Structure 1
Amino acid sequence: MATRRMFSKEVMDSDIFIDMTTNAKLLYVYLNLNADDEGFISNPKAVARFTGLEVESIKELEKNGFIIPFDTGVIVVTHWYMHNQIRKDRAKKTMHLNELSKVELQNKKYTKK
């Protein structure tokens, strides 16, 4: 997993992002920091807890289209590829292949199939 992360101003400066609660915005940053090289996070509730943020902020991020949750508890950052470009020779494939098969990438944005 890469140790550096980038953030797109296009996403972070959008009105919908700015209008979210501070907790949801901060959780979004920490989720991005803890995602694998394809944007998947296996423990979003743990990330919220260890940062001292409310787990309920996950629902706010989902409602506003910044994450896609799966029944397994795994989530994916919707705008992952708008934020990050990891060289193919350095990127580690996600272990969440079942969840990956349920989304598709369109214009650098994950959407449900």
Structure 2
Amino acid sequence: MGSKRMFSLDIVNDDKFLSMPASAQALYFHLGMRTGEYDFVSNPAEIARKANCSVDDLETLLRVGYILSFDGEIMVEMGVNE
């Protein structure tokens, strides 16, 4: 896992992103900063707790499509390639 991440302005400037609660927006960035290879995170609930976010925030990100669930792991849609 690298120490630098890029987030797409196309994603974070979108009305869909900006209409989410601030806690869900913050969780998106925390998850994105902790992604491994291919933008996967294996411990999303732990990251949510550490970031003082809730399971509802994870569900919001799933519902609007900013994260995708695969066999207990999630993929964060960063919108850019490193």
Once the two structures are superposed, residues 29-63 of structure 1 have per-residue CA deviations (whole angstroms, 9 ceiling, x without a partner) of 00000101310000000000011111210100011
Asked if the contact 1:2/1:37 (under 8 Å) is kept, the reply is: no
Structure 2 distance, partners of 1:46, 1:64, is: 21
Q: Which has the larger radius of gyration?
A: 1
Moved over 4 A (4+): none
Q: Give the length in aligned residue pairs.
A: 82
How large is the RMSD of aligned CA atoms in angstroms?
A: 1.1
Unaligned 5+ segments in structure 2 are none
Structure 2-normalised TM-score?
Answer: 0.92
Where 2:37 maps in the other structure, the secondary structure is coil
Larger RCO (CA within 8 A; separation ≥ 6): 2
Aligned to 1:25: 25
Corresponding residue for residue 54 of structure 2: 54
CA distance in 2, matches of 1:64, 1:43: 20
Scaled by the length of structure 1, the TM-score of the pair is 0.68
Q: CA deviation at 1:83?
A: 3.0
Structure with the larger helix share? 2
Amino acid at match of 2:9: K
